[in-house]
Chain A
Amino acid sequence: MTTEAAMPESVLLRWVRAEGMAEIEQYRRAGGYDAARRAATELTPDQVIEMVAASGLRGKGGAGFPAAQKWKFIPKAAPVKYVVVNGDEGEPGTFKDRTLIEGCPHLLVEGILIAAVTIGARKVYIYLRREFYRGRRLLEAAIAQAREAGYVGERIFGSDHAVEIVVHSGAGAYIAGEETALLESLEGRRAMPRQRPPFPAQAGLYQQPTLVQNVETLCHLPVIVGLGPDRYKELGPPALFSVSGAVARPGVYEAPLGVTLRSLIFEHAGGMRPGRRFKAAFPGGSSSVFLTEADLDVKMDPDSLRQAGTMLGSAAVIVMDDSADMVEVMARAVEFYRDESCGKCTPCREGTVWIAQIFERILHGRGRTEDLALLDSIAAGMTGTCFCPLGESVPPGLVASLRLFRDEYERRIAVGAVHVC
């Protein structure tokens, strides 16, 4: 594969990488807010939805649900509707939303406006991770500038649409990134997932129809409406990948959806560090099942990765080299889910604690041979029994690690036994 084919002109990141894009003047000079103006003043909601449908845009937060379908589920006639922006980016290894907000907050504001006028929402809440202090300052300044320009508030772009945007901050809970838990949190309660159905599109915030959409997903909208869905698709369609861990140049990279894992790691992110070899990588955050060398040519799109037994998730590629101890990696991942489990359902609340306890004894030289079968059986008990994806994301990676890196577990246990004796 040639490097050129893997890296066409950047569509999203050019907004982020350009200087001064936090300023509305600069953003407007580059054509910013033209798409939102068209959506508010020229296009009908159905036309916008058709463009989004034709673009094939799928949610970039993790679940990968087709965006246009979500929009169509919002009842047109409902008197009150909301847009809620999921900016609670917390999936380990994911930093594209932060990069977008810090680099070009107006792109998000414009995407929000397109979504709001299309579904007919007058009120938008941006649920932003508390830790994104810098992003929040930039975003609030951008919203103030957009309000000043007549793009936020009453009669935006001189149309009959009114859109109000409020930035709301989270308080340090990974589970709040799950869309129904996010709504609970936004209503001032513990971030615990809700029973679905009803889905947020029918009964979301304050039980009203609500479009919950990830930051990056919304940032694609000005591009889709601006270039048209055909050109958008021709350009990739573009997707953002957060690449981190043991690579030479960690960062957010834009590549066509379906780029290979190999290209992302070895071309975009500069490959491994000197003298190191690739060992494994999570393709979609720590909630996805990691891939190994044999999978490097897998295409990074939702369907190809599902066929490979994993998922694109939030497109966060965490790379491990030959110095990584997979038992430690899995132990760290499990600890995270244990600490972030909301406690609502038993398999997740108890299962993550049990698994973490077993890892702890293995890492401390007190592992037992039968622990590996025990891990497998707890994983089986959690599969399909957890209330939400948080708990469900633990077993697949754990089971894969027990299969593919069993020797590392066995060595840990054997060496530990020697020390104990």
Chain B
Amino acid sequence: MTERAREEIRRLAGLYEHRQSALLPALFVAQQEAGYLSPEVLESVAETLELPLTEVTSVASFYGLFYLEPVGRHVVHVCTNLSCMLNGCQRVLSRMQEVMGVRPGETTPDGRFSLRTAECLGACEEAPAVLVDEDRWAAVTPEEVEPLLDRYR
């Protein structure tokens, strides 16, 4: 972890009464820089926030958006909860699998994409909803999957 990331984490810790409150934000800072939370990165976070490594690892492993394994350059989340299911998300997910050649939870061999399913993204009026990195895509059809992915290199 770079000194810059450590500084950012120390800044975040200042926003809270107790420094452990900055743990989730700190893990995101580390994850954004390193790509994923390797044991070494978790140790750096623990050190910077002066928290036990076991606690940091325990917390990181609880939440769905912390990646403890390497992920692709772009993470694609396909919502599969009820409203999206009732609007054909399964066909979108199947098309994603076809185009990427991977199953949910896997990363393409070229490291470009990780495919994941998501629980309700709170965008049910746009079902089926897809999140690529920080961009939300509305009412995605199977036909739109390929051109959509082409936008992300």
Contacts and interface: CB of A to CB of B under 8 A. Distances in A.
Interface of A: 89-95, 97-98, 129-134, 166, 168-174, 185-191, 205-206, 242-246, 250-252, 282, 286, 316, 318-320, 324, 328-329, 332-333, 336, 339-340, 342
The 7 closest A-B pairs by CB, nearest first: A172-B64, A244-B124, A188-B23, A171-B63, A188-B20, A172-B65, A133-B134
Nearest to A173: B63
A286 B122 contact: no
Nearest to A242: B124
Nearest to A82: B17
A206 B18 contact: yes
A382 B98 CA distance: 40
Contact of A246 (B62, B63, B86): B86
Interface string B110-137: 0000000011111111010001001110
Interface in B1-34: 15-18, 20-25, 27-28
A348 to B, nearest CB: 15
A318 B82 contact: yes
Given A206-B17, A206-B18, A329 B82 contact: yes
Given A316-B124, A329-B86, 7 more contacts: A90-B120, A130-B65, A133-B135, A173-B63, A185-B24, A187-B18, A243-B125
A83 to B, nearest CB: 14
Contacts of A98: 122-123
B85 interface: yes
B122 A129 contact: yes
Contacts of A316: 124
B127 A244 contact: yes
Nearest to B83: A244
A95 B62 CA distance: 24
B108 interface: no
A93 B123 CA distance: 8
Nearest to A91: B120
B48 interface: no
A250 B82 contact: no
Contacts of A282: 82
B65 A171 contact: yes
Nearest to B62: A190
Nearest to B15: A166
B122 A132 contact: yes
A211 to B, nearest CB: 16
B28 A188 contact: no
Interface string B49-66: 001000100110011111
B86 A320 contact: yes
Contacts of A188: 18, 20-24, 51, 59
Interface in B65-111: 65-66, 77, 80-83, 85-87
